[in-house]
Amino acid sequence: MKIIGTTFTKGYKPAIFHNSPIHSFFENLQAVLRSIDKTGGLDHLFAKPYFEGGDLSQASEIKWMSELSGEPSSFSQLPKPTQKVVGEALARSLEGIREYGRSFEDSSGLEKQYADFLKAISISPEMQHVIVINEKIPVLVHWGFIREETNPNLALFVGWTDMIAQLKPKSPDAEKKPAIQGETNPVNEKKNAAQPEPEKKAPTSEQTPKESLEKQPPSKEKVPPIQPEPTPVKKRSSTKKYGWVKWLAILLAIIIVLLLLLRKLRPPPLVIPSNKQPSQPSLTGGNSSGQPPSSLVGAGGGGSGGGGGGSGSGGAGSAGSAGSGAGGSGSGSGGSGSNSGAGAGNGGASGGQQGGFPSAQPSNGVGGGNASSPNSVAPSSNASQSAQTPKHPKVPIKKTTQPKVSNPNQNHQTKKPPVPKTPPAQPLLISLEVVGTKDQTLISSPPDPGTQWKLVPDKGGAFDPALAYFLNSGQRNQARGPKVTLHLIPASKEYSVKVVAKGTTGIQTTYHFKVKSGKSEP
In a domain, 262, yes or no: no
- Per residue in 172-219, pLDDT (tens digit) is 554 444 443 333 343 343 344 444 444 444 444 333 333 433 344 433
Write down which residue in 137, 170, 203 finishes a domain. 170
Question: DSSP letters of 120-155?
Answer: H------GGGEEEETTTEEEE-S-SEEETTS-GGG-
Say how far apart CA 173 and CA 151 lie, in whole Å: 38
The gap between the terminal CA atoms of the chain, to the nearest Å, is 29
Give me the pLDDT at residue 259, please: 94
- Per residue in 255-296, pLDDT (tens digit) is 999 999 998 887 777 667 665 555 554 444 444 444 444 343
In a domain, 450, yes or no: yes
User: Which CATH number is 509's domain given?
Assistant: 2.60.40.10
CA dihedral 521, 481, 120, 236 (to 10 degrees): -160
From start to end of 364-404, where are the E strands? none
AA letter at 167: L
In a domain, 309, yes or no: no
Beta strands at 452-457 and 137-140: parallel, antiparallel or unpaired? unpaired
Give me the pLDDT at residue 436, please: 67
Say how far apart CA 416 and CA 305 lie, in whole Å: 64
Q: Give the neighbor-by-neighbor strand order of the sheet with 428-435.
A: 428-435, 508-516, 495-502, 452-457, 478-480
Say how far apart CA 299 and CA 166 lie, in whole Å: 133
Tell me which residue range forms the domain holding 102.
Answer: 2-170
Closest CA to 23 of 31, 14, 11, 36: 14
Residue ranges of the chain with pLDDT lower than 70? 155, 169-241, 270-271, 273-429, 432, 436, 460-463, 518-522
User: For residue 363, with 0-12 CB atoms within 10 Å meaning exposed, 13-18 middle and 19 or more buried, which class applies?
Assistant: buried
pTM: 0.35
Answer yes or no: are the C-beta atoms of 348 and 337 closer than 8 Å. Answer: yes
Per-residue DSSP letter, 306: -
Say how far apart CA 336 and CA 350 lie, in whole Å: 5
**Helical (H) or strand (E) element with 438:** strand 438-443
Phi and psi (nearest 5°) for 513?
Answer: -120, 125
Write down which residue in 110, 142, 170 finishes a domain. 170
Write down which residue in 155, 170, 185 finishes a domain. 170
In a domain, 369, yes or no: no
Give me the pLDDT at residue 435, please: 73
Give me the pLDDT at residue 143, please: 92
Beta strands at 452-457 and 508-516: parallel, antiparallel or unpaired? unpaired
Give me the pLDDT at residue 249, please: 94
Q: In sequence order, what are the beta bridge partners of 429?
A: 510
Beta strands at 508-516 and 495-502: parallel, antiparallel or unpaired? antiparallel
What per-residue string of b and e applies to 197-230 under the rule 16 or more CB within 10 Å gives b?
eeeeeeeeeeeeeeeebeeebeeeeeeebbeebe
In a domain, 239, yes or no: no
In a domain, 341, yes or no: no
Say how far apart CA 198 and CA 167 lie, in whole Å: 31
The total of structural domains in the chain comes to 2
Closest CA to 139 of 150, 151, 131, 149: 131
Give me the pLDDT at residue 133, please: 92
In a domain, 244, yes or no: no
Give me the pLDDT at residue 108, please: 81
In a domain, 443, yes or no: yes
To 5 degrees, how large is the angle CA 246–CA 249–CA 250? 90
User: For residue 281, with 0-12 CB atoms within 10 Å meaning exposed, 13-18 middle and 19 or more buried, which class applies?
Assistant: exposed
Closest CA to 363 of 379, 351, 347: 347
Give me the pLDDT at residue 258, please: 94
